[in-house]
Amino acid sequence: MPQSVAGNVVLFAIAAVAPSALFWAVFNVPRLLRRLRRPELVSENPPIECIAADLRRVRRVLSCFQPGTPAIKRIGARQAYDGLLIQACAALDVEHSLDALPEGVDRDIERLRLEECLRHRGLSV
């Protein structure tokens, strides 16, 4: 008699837990499988088309400054342009020293050189 009672308890436990376990598996196994799959490589950098559009926009802003524009606006726009040039150089594997040069003629010449290199790589600024 004790064996049949233990068997009945085990069968009752299986019958009680099985539906819950089945529903848990239906809802959670696909999510667990997605986590186990290899993540796709996603670039952290924006697409080159977006960088090019931003470069053109900021360059247009730089060229439209009127005499008397506050220096802080000019400096900010120039720094934004330099940052975008650096992003474009990274995306197209162009060597640059823009971030190492101080403001002045050398940095302006480096900007022109980078614009020409980017043009040769197919990015019209």
What pLDDT shows up at residue 43? 66
pLDDT at 37: 81
Q: Does the pLDDT at position 2 exceed 70?
A: no
Q: How far apart are CA 98 and CA 89, in angstroms?
A: 10
**Percentage of the chain lying above the pLDDT 70 cut:** 93
Residue 60, pLDDT above cutoff 90: yes
Distance of CA 32 to the CA centre of its chain: 25
Q: What is the mean pLDDT of residues 22-46?
A: 78
DSSP 8-state symbol, 40:
P
pLDDT for position 101: 86
Cα–chain center distance at 28: 29
The answer to whether 29 touches 71, Cβ cutoff 8 Å, is no
